[in-house]
């Protein structure tokens, strides 16, 4: 009887796991199937052609995404890391609890709300949609995510290492910098990469901040095209060629996110292995 129960539970749990994996594989399969045919050299090095003309690529959106992501990371990483360090170092204090609560609330806010906020703060005041506004919106999404995962990673560093450093007369700053951060480096890098992966595909907050641009632009204070927005535009287009382009863009975006997540995992494992032997 016990054996039968055991078997039934094992089968059920394995089945549930399998069902969880199916959407992921279906998604990958479908995106690859629909997108791969439009991926060629032109896709990466050419700008979009006007509707109706054959050919062209998504260079402007690829570059735009890199610019917006780059700028968002540039602002978001220092703030996210600093907040994470603060949370880990001041566990239990009132301010830290408030900060932790705020990060939780921020993570839960729908990203379109953050888009509206940045629209009224940045776009309205500067009187133009811009790459900068898009980056700010993404930064606001990134900071609480990165702060929380940084905190978790830092708390995994054994307290005995910190005490060993203090016992050698090290200052708090040197202990944090040379012992805690170094020991947690793998986890910190993977937290950074995962948080970039998380904002890479955000569409809603970019709709009325970065807005989109038919043309190639690298100007920070002008509207800029990004992959998610371009996919959105092309997918709604009545034009079959543009629909196909949307799938190709989706394939590229999914690959980017997967690459970020896999390298995050790989880097943290490599660093853990190194510190173990």
Tell me how far, at minimum, the Cβ of 271 lies from other proteins, in Å: 9
Q: Which residues pair with 224 in a beta bridge?
A: 211
Residue with Cβ nearer other proteins (57 or 186): 186
Tell me how far, at minimum, the Cβ of 151 lies from other proteins, in Å: 17
Residue with tokens 């998380």: 198
Residue with Cβ nearer other proteins (41 or 167): 167
Size of the site for other proteins (CB under 8 A): 24
Q: What is the DSSP letter of 49?
A: P
Token pair for 189: 């890098």
Token pair for 231: 């996919």
Among 92, 108, 127, 238, the residue binding other proteins under the rule CB under 8 A is 92
Is position 156 an interface residue for other proteins (rule: CB under 8 A)? no
CA triple 62-59-125, angle to 5 deg: 60
Tell me how far, at minimum, the Cβ of 165 lies from other proteins, in Å: 6
Judged by CB under 8 A, the chain residues 198 through 257 that form the site for other proteins are none
Angle, to 10 degrees, between the axis of helix 185-200 and the axis of helix 240-276?
A: 170
Tell me how far, at minimum, the Cβ of 7 lies from other proteins, in Å: 42
| Alpha-carbon span 36 to 15, nearest angstrom | 31
Task: Output the DSSP codes for 4-36.
Answer: HHHHHHHHHHHHHHHHHHHHHHHHHHHHHHHHG
Residue with Cβ nearer other proteins (104 or 163): 163
Residue with Cβ nearer other proteins (54 or 167): 167
Burial class of 52 by CB neighbour count within 10 A (0 to 12, 13 to 18, 19+): exposed
Per-residue b/e over 14-24, b at no fewer than 16 CB within 10 Å?
eeeeeeeeeee
Q: Which residues pair with 211 in a beta bridge?
A: 224
| Alpha-carbon span 179 to 168, nearest angstrom | 12
Residue with Cβ nearer other proteins (180 or 229): 180
Residue with Cβ nearer other proteins (166 or 216): 166
Token pair for 115: 């888009």
Among 85, 179, 193, 224, the residue binding other proteins under the rule CB under 8 A is 179
Residue with Cβ nearer other proteins (23 or 92): 92
CA triple 197-201-203, angle to 5 deg: 145
Residue with Cβ nearer other proteins (97 or 163): 163
Burial class of 150 by CB neighbour count within 10 A (0 to 12, 13 to 18, 19+): buried
Q: Fill in the per-residue mask, 159 to 178: x = in contact with other proteins (CB under 8 A), - = not in contact.
A: -xx-xxxxxxxxx--xx--x
The contact set with other proteins (CB under 8 A) reads: 92, 158, 160-161, 163-171, 174-175, 178-179, 182-183, 185, 274-277
């Amino acid at each position: 009887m016990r054996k039968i129960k055991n078997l039934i539970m094992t089968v059920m749990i394995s089945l549930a796991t399998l069902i969880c994996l199916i959407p992921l594989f279906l998604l990958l399969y479908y995106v690859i199937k629909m997108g791969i045919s439009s991926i060629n050299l032109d896709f990466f090095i050419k700008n979009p052609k006007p509707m109706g003309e054959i050919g062209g690529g998504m260079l402007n959106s690829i570059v735009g995404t890199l610019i917006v992501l780059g700028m968002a990371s540039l602002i978001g990483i220092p703030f996210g890391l600093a907040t994470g360090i603060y949370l880990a170092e001041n566990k239990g204090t009132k301010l830290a609890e408030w900060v932790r609560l705020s990060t939780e609330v921020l993570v839960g806010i729908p990203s379109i709300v953050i888009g509206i906020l940045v629209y009224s703060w940045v776009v309205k005041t500067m009187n133009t949609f811009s790459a900068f506004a898009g980056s700010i919106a993404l930064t606001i999404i990134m900071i609480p995510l990165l702060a929380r995962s940084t905190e978790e990673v830092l708390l995994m560093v054994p307290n005995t290492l910190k005490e060993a450093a203090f016992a050698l007369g090290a200052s708090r700053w040197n202990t944090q910098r040379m012992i805690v951060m170094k020991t947690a480096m793998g986890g910190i890098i993977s937290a950074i990469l995962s948080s970039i992966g998380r904002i890479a595909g955000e569409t809603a907050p970019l709709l009325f901040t970065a807005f989109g641009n038919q043309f190639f632009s690298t100007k920070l204070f002008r509207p800029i095209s990004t992959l998610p927005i371009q996919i959105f535009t092309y997918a709604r287009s009545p034009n079959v060629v543009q629909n196909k382009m949307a799938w190709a863009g989706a394939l590229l975006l999914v690959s980017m996110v997967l690459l970020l997540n896999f390298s995050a995992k790989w880097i943290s494992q490599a660093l853990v292995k190194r510190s173990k032997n």
